[in-house]
Amino acid sequence: MDFSISAEQRNLQSRVIRFAQSELGTEAEFHDREGSFDLAGWRRCADFGVLGWPVPREYGGGGLDLFDTVLALEALGYGCHDNGLVFAVNNHLWACAVYLTRHGSDSLRARFLPELVFGRMIGAHALTEAGAGSDIAAMETVAQRSGDHWVLNGVKSFVSNGPVADVFIVFARTSDAAAPQRALSAFVVTRDMPGVAVTDTFDKSGLRSCPMGEITFDECRIPADHMLGVEGDGHHIFSATAAWERGMMFASQVGVLRRLVEAGMRQAKSRQQFGRPIGAFQSVAHDLADANLRLELARLLLYKVAWLHQRDRTALLESAMLKLYVSETVRDTALSLMQLHGARGYLTAWGIEREVRDALAGTIYAGTSQMQREAIAQLLGLPSGLGARREPTGQAVRA
């Protein structure tokens, strides 16, 4: 077991941190207040190569291997204070570009990946519906074959990047007779296709600079060659890629966790009460000791998941554990940081309450904490309360 990071990898992280700290998040407070997307920051990410880190070089991407991509995203989350922008990047990468990279035809990859890599298109993932989140078998969006097209009808909700996206990975029911695992298919749908409309944009508590909306498909005709894989592959494609998403999307959250822990350490050393730094009080010191312990554990679990994926080994259990642990740890650490700053932590000007609001979403998107615990229990061989027709690999809530 080798826990070392090479000089090249450390240099990559240092470059990303310098870029993120100097070029991104400078207007995070404004975009949070207005609920607006930072298009200028998005374009800077494209210019720096962020939007193509895991995409092969032949399509304009960075061609980074999975572990290097994880290290870069960890650095991005640490350096950029606009958590919504980083979340938008993660959705673009793991819920759109990676789907195309792993499951798209040569023609689909050639057409869309360069556009996504260079930021000329923004990607999104349309899976969740009002009545189908973790239970994707309840999906009501349908696609029916019509000659050399599929006709898509339905409404997708809680679509991150949806209001600004140009291309969607859409899941729909293509058979009522097939077994649940063969009833769904996945499509690449562009915003300019007739019948595609953003029908609602949601105002949310946190991650406000990553827009979320409702997308309606009304008699939308999709060319047959826009299907990912073959008919009935949707459940398999989602399950195979969801483990990547659960694991890799939380690399940036480990970076956020590091930033929060360091902010707490600075506050504990600088703030004086009763003639001494508050870090001298045992309750504060022990909280920070625990926070540093949780940071180390989160990073180790993240690196293990990346290591497993890079060797094409199944990491369903480890990815669910990572998602659960990191999301709840970031939430708890953000709340602890607010408490550590007292009244200042509650003021918008300090940015700490924004960290709390942003952190709350992590326990919901990509599968709630409750669903992660259910998946972990099933993967450990415990009886399932979800019913025989469902699988732990099909559990996710898109935020």
Q: Which one of 245, 353, 374, 391 is the catalytic residue?
A: 245
Distance CA 393, CA 267 (A): 41
Q: What is the DSSP string of 109-122?
A: HHHHHHHHHTTSS-
Catalogue the E-assigned strands of the chain: 123-126, 142-146, 149-160, 167-173, 184-190, 196-202, 212-223, 227-228, 272-273, 276-277
User: How far is residue 80 CA from its own chain's centroid?
Assistant: 15
Buried b (16+ CB within 10 A) or exposed e, 27-48: bbeebbeebebbeebbebbbeb
- Catalytic (active site) residue 245: yes
Instruction: Locate 321 and state its tokens.
Output: 């554990």
CB 85 within 8 A of CB 25: yes
> Across-strand partners of 190?
167
**What amino acid positions are annotated as catalytic residues?**
245
